[in-house]
Amino acid sequence: MKTAEAKVKAILLADDPESFVTRRIPEVSLEFGGIPGDRHFGITAPSDSRQPMYPRQKSSTDARLQSYLKKNVKL
């Protein structure tokens, strides 16, 4: 197994639903969907123009799972 070393320089949270502005926080508890309270939290995300392979709609796409499958599963 390959290992990697990393250094965290900042933990940023975008928890204001009216803005993309982030703020620094001193520590974080991570869950499977990311940082609780962050505007990007969750394992699903609405389809939008940044995922051109999916039609734009109000329903959600499981973006992380689809990204993983696209990279790791050969059809």
Q: Is residue 27 part of a domain?
A: yes
Q: How confident is the model at residue 41 (pLDDT cuts 50, 70, 90)?
A: confident
Within a domain: 72: no
Per-residue pLDDT band for 69 (boundaries 50, 70, 90) equals low
Tell me which amino acid residue 59 is: S
Flag whether 33 is in a domain.
Answer: yes
Q: Is 73 exposed, middle or buried (0-12, 13-18, 19+ CB in 10 A)?
A: exposed
Say if residue 20's pLDDT is above 70: yes
16 belongs to a structural domain: yes
Residue 29 domain-assigned (yes or no): yes
pLDDT at 67: 66
If one counts the domains in the chain, the total is 1
pLDDT tens digits along 42-68? 777 665 666 666 565 555 556 666 666
Give the residue with greater pLDDT, 62 vs 15: 15
Q: Does 71 fall in a domain?
A: no
Q: Dihedrals φ, ψ of 13, to 5°?
A: -125, 130
- Residue 23, domain member (yes or no): yes
Amino acid at site 46: P
Residue-number span of the structural domain to which 26 is assigned: 9-63
